[in-house]
Amino acid sequence: MVNPGAFRGSRKEFLLGERPSYSIAVEGGYAADALALIQRRYFKRFPIELPHSVEPSQEFLAAVDDDAPDVEIPGPDQQNMSEEEYKAAIDRLLERRNLVAYRKAVSLCLHLRSKVSDASTLANQTLAGLSAHEESGSRPQRIRFP
């Protein structure tokens, strides 16, 4: 059976819709900036807390404001937590960070399927930072682009 990929539904539609602007950015020499903007817009529409199996409502997507500042996630307050609670909160933050990094890397892979010459180095560098998922076995092994 063919692997259906990590992104489906409106997530995949959004990323595929960004391919033309990304291709223009690659030709113009500002691919990294364009990719950062695409990923920022992606996470506004599809928050990391929203599982991939859940589609956001059309009302939610229509209400997204790309110009609004990003919400900062506060760190845990060690003063008001037990040692176990603090460790659990840190673990949740690390898992969230790793999930964000993974989704960014996978969205980059989707964009690289367009006609991009030397972007494979950037993709491999991004994916190289995902060692936590490789060690835990929760994600596929490191992907290498030709």
Q: At residue 41, does pLDDT exceed 80?
A: yes
Q: Which tokens belong to 116? A: 């991009």
Does 28 reside within a domain?
A: yes
Residues 6 or more apart in contact with residue 79 via CB below 8 angstroms:
none
Domain-embedded: residue 4: no
Check whether 120 has a pLDDT greater than 70.
Answer: no
Residue ranges making up the domain that contains 17: 9-69+79-136
Q: Is residue 144 part of a domain?
A: no
Q: What is the pLDDT of residues 59-77, one digit of tens each?
A: 999 999 999 998 888 888 8
22 falls within a domain: yes
- The answer to whether residue 61 is domain-embedded is yes
Q: Give percent of the chain above pLDDT 70.
A: 68
Cα gap 34→54, rounded to integer Å: 27
Task: State whether residue 27 is helix, strand or coil.
Answer: helix
pLDDT on residue 100: 83
Q: 1 lies in a domain?
A: no
Q: Determine, yes or no, domain membership for 3.
A: no
Give the per-residue pLDDT at 77: 86
**Identity of residue 119:** A
Does 33 map to a domain?
A: yes
Q: Is the pLDDT higher at 65 or at 107?
A: 65
Number of structural domains (the chain) is 1
- HSE (side-chain half, CA atoms, 13 Å) at 110: 24
Closest to 13 (Cα-Cα) out of 51, 50, 40, 46: 46
Whole-number pLDDT of residue 70: 85
